[in-house]
Homo-oligomer: A and B are copies of this chain.
């Protein structure tokens, strides 16, 4: 009587009610069902055969799912109940700055006058957007202490590559051929990967015992073959590179440029600026620092700001303020910088993400942004201090916006690894911290509470960590190894996924 299709109206798979497996949308599909509803157009109904020459026509249909709107809604809503998010709880995921994203930004991004604009519409019809982009660029330059910026890069890594291409164009314009870019061993993986794409080789410098770039080692590798140094400051250990001005001087002395990975900008907003530290190129992760929500893995936005001398190389077209018109009204247009490296995005970047970021900047204002940094650092240090006895503290000194601890002793004494701590924390109602990064810290736990979490939440988080350690000490690693216990699925077999690759529903059999 019933076909092989799965029931769509059954909530058994919602964690609210149990923990069944949610069928895929393909399993909900029944031939002939539909959800779509299109407008009545009265356009003449030319047959498909007359529209598409037979040589180009497909014979079959693209098989998609065939479901009712009801079943689609239930399916996706149930999926959403299987997903942790900032809106459900704290996400102390180091290096990711998973702060609360104000809802007002959703309202901004939903404005039809922003969301409904075609990117190819000419400037005369898009003055609002151009004005917005120019305003954002100015604010970002002020925050970073730079002269000009491109808003095109779609994420941090895209910003990095853009920055490296700027570096390359700069050296090329100055007749200098260089092959290497220096990065610390604690750097995020995107840094070396971008270096390669930028056509350079990576030279890695070690971290010293204080958790900063080993200055001597750096000096040893610095020469006229070095195109630039990529740093993040605070670095990925959450520590401020105190020698930054020295590093900048040394870099500039050999004609290298200093690149700032802005993923950790949250820590220093309104306190110190990359430009003032001596950086030449800065990318920002608006989806971290400026509270544009992360969307389960994107979209982000990775604008790149540069010092004056690099501005002529920026990607184009760039939005610019033109001379005001006769009535004094501001006018905006596009310009391509004279030595532009070219486009780095199909249109103008992730524009609606940019709009969100500007909204966040304006609500907070200069005063509020400094407050953001202060409280992000306060929270991280409170948690670090609170937990330094619970875990190992490989770099035991004041941190900036995040703290890197280690589960080394826990592993050695009780067999509980950072991974186990992370999984057990899920049972405690928190997202896990970042683990095993930076790579240089054994059993790393990288904890970034962000400024939007309250002291009460930090206390609960600390107690949760303490309970996990106490549990291991009292009764061994079994509970932690078996964790998580209360999640929609329990510990997932990652190895099997790679061994028997099933990357589409069609590959299941």
Which residues of A are interface residues toward B (Cβ below 8 A)?
1-3, 5-20, 28, 30, 33, 37, 68-71, 73-74, 77-78, 81-85, 87-90, 100, 102-104, 363, 426-430, 452-457, 459-461, 486-488
* Further 16 A-B residue pairs, CB within 8 A, beyond A2-B456, A7-B454: A3-B455, A8-B456, A11-B429, A12-B428, A14-B88, A16-B81, A16-B84, A16-B487, A16-B488, A17-B486, A28-B456, A68-B454, A69-B100, A70-B453, A74-B88, A77-B85
Task: Given A10-B461, A100-B73, A461-B10, answer yes or no on A456-B87 (Cβ-Cβ < 8 Å).
Answer: no
State whether B100 touches A7 (Cβ < 8 A): no
State whether A87 touches B100 (Cβ < 8 A): no
Query: Inside 8 A of A12's CB, which chain B residues have their CB?
Result: 89, 428-430
The 5 A-B residue pairs with the shortest CB-CB distance, nearest first, are A12-B429, A11-B89, A9-B457, A9-B90, A7-B460
Distance to closest chain B CB from A20 (angstroms): 7
Query: Inside 8 A of A102's CB, which chain B residues have their CB?
Result: 69
Query: Inside 8 A of A85's CB, which chain B residues have their CB?
Result: 77
Partner of A427, one of B14, B18, B71, B457: B18
State whether A455 touches B2 (Cβ < 8 A): yes
| A262 to B459 Cα, complex, angstroms | 55
Query: Inside 8 A of A5's CB, which chain B residues have their CB?
Result: 454, 456
Task: Given A17-B426, A17-B487, A427-B18, answer yes or no on A453-B9 (Cβ-Cβ < 8 Å).
Answer: yes
State whether A89 touches B10 (Cβ < 8 A): yes
Partner of A429, one of B1, B17, B428: B17
Query: Inside 8 A of A427's CB, which chain B residues have their CB?
Result: 17-18
Query: Inside 8 A of A1's CB, which chain B residues have their CB?
Result: 455, 459
24 sample A-B contacts, Cβ–Cβ < 8 Å, listed by A number: A3-B455, A7-B456, A7-B459, A7-B460, A8-B454, A8-B456, A8-B457, A9-B90, A10-B90, A10-B461, A11-B430, A14-B429, A16-B88, A16-B487, A16-B488, A17-B89, A17-B429, A18-B429, A18-B486, A28-B456, A68-B100, A68-B452, A70-B100, A78-B88
| A11 to B68 Cα, complex, angstroms | 32
| A7 to B102 Cα, complex, angstroms | 19
| A376 to B319 Cα, complex, angstroms | 57
Which residue of B has the minimal Cβ distance to A386? B1
| A11 to B88 Cα, complex, angstroms | 6
Which of A17, A103, A452: most chain B Cβ within 10 A? A17
Distance to closest chain B CB from A383 (angstroms): 12
Query: Inside 8 A of A70's CB, which chain B residues have their CB?
Result: 100, 452-454
Distance to closest chain B CB from A256 (angstroms): 42
Query: Inside 8 A of A14's CB, which chain B residues have their CB?
Result: 15, 88-89, 429
State whether B429 touches A6 (Cβ < 8 A): no
Which residue of B has the minimal Cβ distance to A452? B70
| A78 to B487 Cα, complex, angstroms | 15
Distance to closest chain B CB from A32 (angstroms): 12
Distance to closest chain B CB from A381 (angstroms): 14
State whether A456 touches B11 (Cβ < 8 A): no
Distance to closest chain B CB from A292 (angstroms): 16
Distance to closest chain B CB from A431 (angstroms): 8
Distance to closest chain B CB from A318 (angstroms): 32
Query: Inside 8 A of A426's CB, which chain B residues have their CB?
Result: 17
Query: Inside 8 A of A104's CB, which chain B residues have their CB?
Result: 37
Distance to closest chain B CB from A190 (angstroms): 28
Which residue of B has the minimal Cβ distance to A67? B454
Partner of A73, one of B17, B71, B74, B103: B103
Query: Inside 8 A of A16's CB, which chain B residues have their CB?
Result: 15, 81-84, 88, 487-488
Distance to closest chain B CB from A109 (angstroms): 16
Partner of A456, one of B3, B77, B486, B488: B3
| A19 to B81 Cα, complex, angstroms | 14
Partner of A87, one of B3, B17, B73: B73
State whether A460 touches B77 (Cβ < 8 A): no
| A6 to B429 Cα, complex, angstroms | 14
Query: Inside 8 A of A68's CB, which chain B residues have their CB?
Result: 100, 452, 454
State whether A87 touches B77 (Cβ < 8 A): yes
| A487 to B427 Cα, complex, angstroms | 17
| A285 to B461 Cα, complex, angstroms | 48
Distance to closest chain B CB from A294 (angstroms): 15
